Amino acid sequence: MKYHVEISSVAEVEADSAFLRMSQVTSLEQASQWYAGLLKAIASLSQMPKRCSLARENDYFSKEIRTL
């Protein structure tokens, strides 16, 4: 079964900011590799997302919040 993975706009902004900061202290190539790995990890959640444990803040949300 495939699951739909939804990335919040806040998460997108934070990932982009992390990429920009990383590219300033490392190389653009390393930052790009990190970002590609992040996107791959996020995409992997469409298969077997329950392999990840529930996040500590899960009880505060109406949907499951998991940590990867």
DSSP state of 60: G
The pLDDT of residue 17: 98
pLDDT at 68 over 90: no
Backbone angles phi, psi at 46, to 5 degrees: -70, -15
Instruction: Look at residues 36, 35, 41, 39 and name the one whose alpha carbon lies nearest to residue 66.
Output: 41
Q: Decide: 54 and 64 in contact? Cβ < 8 Å.
A: yes
> Average per-residue pLDDT in the chain?
93
Per-residue pLDDT reduced to its tens digit, 19-51: 999 999 999 999 999 999 999 999 998 998 889
pLDDT at 18 over 90: yes
Question: What proportion of the chain, given as a percentage, has pLDDT over 70?
Answer: 100
pLDDT at 6 over 90: no
Q: Decide: 31 and 23 in contact? Cβ < 8 Å.
A: yes
